[in-house]
Amino acid sequence: MTIYTARPIEPAVLKQLRDTDDAGRPCVPYVDEEGGDPLRCCLRPIAPGEKVALVSYAPLRRWAAETSAAPGAYDEQGPVFIHAEECDGPADADPYPFTRPGAIRVLRRYSGDGHILGGRLLEFPEDAAAAFDTALDEAFSDPEVALVHVRAVEYGCFQFEVRR
């Protein structure tokens, strides 16, 4: 049984990103005719024909603003896909989205002050949820770990966050 929760980008943050992203650029919506890329607002793939935007997002910076952490040089931003207009958030019961057997993710661990404490590569077997549970159990067995960012290895894109 999964005890961790994949967190989408928060609605209030999405509202800001739909105006100006974390790199200071205006949001530029478009219709994705092909679909398939991961949406970080509702943690599912883009359906062909959906109106989306590719924006720059700084997840650690956003978390640090909530917690008064100071990540310093560990603060980074990168591209994420979001719906161009407000959506209902995750509706799927999939505890860990964007998994398929053979895909590789990095689980990057952060301390309460926003510094990287390490990471782990995870190649998904058939039972991706069990593998994620094991990897997250390992990460959170260190009491210094406050949150884990899950990123795609291919492009380094932020997938989702898991907090203690």
Q: How far is residue 111's CA from residue 119's CA, in Å, rounded to a whole number?
A: 12
**How far is residue 63's CA from residue 84's CA, in Å, rounded to a whole number?**
22
The beta strand positions in the chain, using DSSP E, are 30-32, 38-39, 44-45, 50-57, 78-83, 104-111, 116-123, 145-152, 158-163
Average pLDDT, the chain: 93
CA 81 to chain centre: 10
Q: What's the confidence (pLDDT) of residue 82?
A: 98
Lowest mean pLDDT among 14-23, 77-86, 93-102: 93-102
What mean pLDDT is predicted for residues 77-98?
90
Mean pLDDT check: name the lowest of 21-35, 49-63, 91-105. Answer: 91-105
Q: 118-146, pLDDT tens digit by residue?
A: 999 999 999 998 999 999 999 999 999 99
- Could you tell me the pTM of the whole model? 0.92
Mean pLDDT of 144-158: 92
pLDDT of res. 42: 95
